[in-house]
Amino acid sequence: MRLLLGFSITLVLTAGFAPAASAAPTESRPIYAYDQAIRQTAWVETGTDHDRDGKTDRVAADVIRPDARVRVPAILDVSPYYACCGRGNEMQKKTYAADGTPQQFPLFYDNYFVPRGYAVVLADVGGTNRSSGCFDDVGSGNAVVNWLNGRAKAFDAPEGGHAVTADWATGDVGAIGKSQDGATAIGMAASGIAGLKTIVPIEGVADNYAQVIGNGAPFATPENTGSSFTYNERAAELCKPFEADLKARAGTNGDYNAYWQSVNYVPRAGQASVLAAQGFGDWVVAPNQFARYWDALGRAGVPRKAWLSQAGHTDPFDLQRAQWVETLHRWFDRWLLGLRNGVEHEPAVHLETMPDHWTDLRSWPPATVSAALRPSGDGTLGHRGSGTATVADDPSIGREQWAAGTSAARFTGAPLPSAVRLAGSPSVTITASSDKPAARLGVALVDYGPSEARNTATYGSGIENLTTRSCWGSSTTADSACFLDTAADVVSADHRIVAAGWADLGHHASLWHGEPLVPGRQYTMSFSLTALDHVVPAGHRLGLLLGGTDGQLFDPALPRLGDTLTFDLARTSVTVGLTKPEH
């Protein structure tokens, strides 16, 4: 019995999962004590000196891992928000003991995965929380991956200190995170860093130009962009030259350039597998970010899976908690532990069609029939367009007010005889003139008709917190595995904006070079709207809004152009993909 017991313990310590008696395991099990986990910080050298203090920058990587003689893979979240803003629906921040040992690791990843044989590493982007350097998110994350693979040095202090090795790590890493953290994961994958096996970007940015500039039209002034609000006190001063250099490279005229090309990760989809999540009601990171990246992954043959909801800027953990945790568990087991659980062969897309109603699909977007709809001067939207429409730009009014008939040209189609599903990335072609040398364009596609939907119209998340909690993993007094439950935040409305797009008319010929407009001259410009997957019920009407500066999106500090736009409706159209609704 002693011999058998010793043999069983050896299997557990070397495998990281509970062995099955007659078959290879397909799921990691919670066999390690969370309250006995090793908690430490490694300050990892990045090889750069972005803050120009004469020392190599060090990224603070807080680690929690099983206390056992076993090598484990790492789940990595690289974020600038651990001190300033918090993570998750409850805005959790990192906390530390008096001696600096990390205590609370935000989110549930540590509580759930450490007992199952994973390390969780939460790294502070350069210049944030306990890291030195400046905001180089991909460089910060890649330095940690290099350390986990024995290719970078780390120490047990911000300066000096003793060397810290990751001899406990297998070197296999999965990068996860929402919003900026998700963008970092996408950028790391695009860099081709060795050891990064999978990424889980949640509402993540893949094209940084499209996030801050709409087809030549900057959404904010340079003073109101960037990451300086996340800096620690030291970096806020030392990183001023670094930030000034970035802004100079980015430019202020809305032109696409070499800098924006370098931070557009869509053409470099990478080789790491991808589990992505996106809300079609997200106006913080619009769904066109997901759609372009998803298409690139498909072209590159990258293993991929997606969770697509009708919510806003929201983590799937707060939409379908049990199913998301299970999916994430199986995904990491497959790509970090190598367990053959078949997750990559299951339907690739988990789609919410209406609040709390989900379906599984083999692919996205679906095959659709392309339809071009054209506005007419009488306010209709159909197969033929005619006439003109004039709009005086008013940057104090946004697209929701446009939909109600204020400060934009509004066109609506006939009531639909049957329900239709709009899916994919709509596009518009606009022919217009301006009475000034510059003009912004705003376009929105609207579903007019009574409905109940998640509350996302004005940057809402589409969820609301309940008073109860559910627990996902093990807890300590300093780090609870129990989180507020949520429910769909549903509102009734007479319309819903389902896609939108923005542009600078001066970039009609090329995003690389804008030009002053000749007042009165017509220009034609085509661009994509935000991606969507939306069912328009029978009896509803499709609507098209043509406007100028969208006050709901653009920074009020931007120059007021004061222009009046005249649209040539016969040469203006919106193209959408149509198909039958999923049942």
Contact in structure between 554 and 283 (CB atoms under 8 Å) = no
Cis bond before residue 365 (omega within 30° of 0): yes
The count of other CB atoms within 10 Å of the CB of residue 83 is 17
DSSP code per residue over 536-563: E-TT-EEEEEEES--TTTS-TTS-----
Question: Does 158 sit behind a cis peptide bond, omega within 30 degrees of 0 on the bond before it?
Answer: no
- How many angstroms separate the CA atoms of 237 and 20, rounded? 56
Collapse the DSSP code of 138 into the 3-class scheme (helix H, G, I; strand E, B; otherwise coil) and give the result: helix
Taking the C-alpha atoms of residue 107 and residue 286, their distance in angstroms, rounded to an integer, is 24
**102, amino acid identity:** P
| Residues marked as catalytic | 179, 282, 313
Helices 137-148 and 180-191, interaxial angle, to 10°? 60
Q: Of 153, 5, 43, 34, which Cα lies nearest the Cα of 105?
A: 34
Nearest to 122 by CA among 72, 179, 49, 177: 177
CA-to-CA dists, residue 516 to 508, 521, 527, angstroms: 11, 11, 19
Specify the amino acid at residue 129. N
Residue 469: strand pairing partners: 484
Answer whether 530's CB lies under 8 Å from 427's CB: no
Other beta carbons within 10 Å of 51:
23
**Dihedral over Cα of 278, 280, 283, 289: its sign:** positive
